[in-house]
């Protein structure tokens, strides 16, 4: 079964816009899990414009599902992971001033660095995932450096979905199929929503996890958090077998 990990960065963004503690990030995370989320994702950035490092420590004892911490493995980030020891760390090549993640790693160019980082996190007992584009070469390189999983950057899929969903999903099927053959777990994330998630999952039912934040939190403004999580999980149900 594909797990739904809720990225709560946007909740922190709303809180930070006004100061204080409304909305209460810890309470939202508690509710997400109560309402059925199988994981919580955070992505602290150096400028702390949404999730702060202090938030990660606050959430450490509250996340009883899977805690996934995303980020560029700077020395500060590596130290954070060593202290928190989450279930999973997802390596993302964000520039310090990036608005959002918009590309995967070039593992060829950063092979030695990523090999060292993956090894360090695995020695801590933390499952590692590398954020990559749907590129067979990057999948093969990810396998060679020994990461546990990849996370497919699904921005291009979401952008092309309404034009031609079959064409949009094809490179992702190919990348995920290759990853599966190479023994890599496959996660996915970025711009996934209630319109395009079910189609992605129907074509790649062996996805381990999807990480969704912006659209899910936006939908919750209209539907409520409980019903929104239910709706996203419905997109991840196994298709019925024809008799």
Residues designated as active site:
43, 70, 190
Angle between helices 214-223 and 9-18 (to 10 degrees): 70
Judge whether 124 and 85 are in contact, CB under 8 Å.
yes
| First-to-last C-alpha distance (Å) of the chain | 21
Euclidean distance between CA atoms 121 and 96, whole angstroms? 21
Query: CA nearest 127: which of 179, 92, 87?
Result: 87
Query: CA nearest 203: which of 234, 241, 236?
Result: 236
Q: Which residue matches tokens 């890599």?
A: 184
Quickly list DSSP for 85-122: --SEEEE----TT-SS------TTTTHHHHHHHHHHHH
Euclidean distance between CA atoms 99 and 227, whole angstroms? 28
């Amino acid at each position: 079964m594909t797990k739904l990990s809720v990225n709560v960065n946007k909740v922190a963004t709303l809180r930070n816009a006004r100061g204080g503690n409304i909305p209460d990030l810890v309470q939202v995370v508690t509710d997400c899990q109560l309402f059925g989320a199988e994981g919580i994702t955070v992505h602290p950035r150096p400028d702390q414009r949404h999730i702060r490092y202090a938030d990660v420590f606050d959430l450490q004892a509250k996340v009883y599902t899977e805690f996934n911490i995303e980020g560029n493995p700077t020395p500060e980030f590596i130290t954070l992971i060593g202290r928190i020891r989450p279930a999973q760390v997802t390596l993302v090549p964000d520039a310090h001033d990036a608005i959002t993640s918009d590309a995967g790693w070039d593992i060829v160019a950063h092979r030695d660095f990523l090999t060292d980082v993956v090894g360090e996190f695995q020695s801590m007992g933390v499952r590692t995932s590398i954020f990559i584009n749907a590129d067979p070469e990057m999948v093969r390189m990810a396998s060679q450096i020994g990461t546990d999983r990849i996370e497919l950057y699904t921005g291009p899929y979401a952008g092309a979905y309404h034009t031609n969903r079959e064409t949009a999903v094809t490179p992702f099927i190919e990348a995920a199929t290759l990853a599966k053959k190479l023994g890599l777990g496959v996660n996915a994330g970025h711009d996934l929503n209630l319109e395009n998630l079910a189609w992605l999952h129907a074509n790649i039912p062996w996805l381990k996890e999807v990480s969704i934040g912006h659209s899910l939190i936006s939908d919750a403004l209209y539907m409520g958090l409980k019903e929104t999580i239910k709706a996203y999980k419905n997109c991840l149900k196994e298709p019925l077998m024809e008799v």
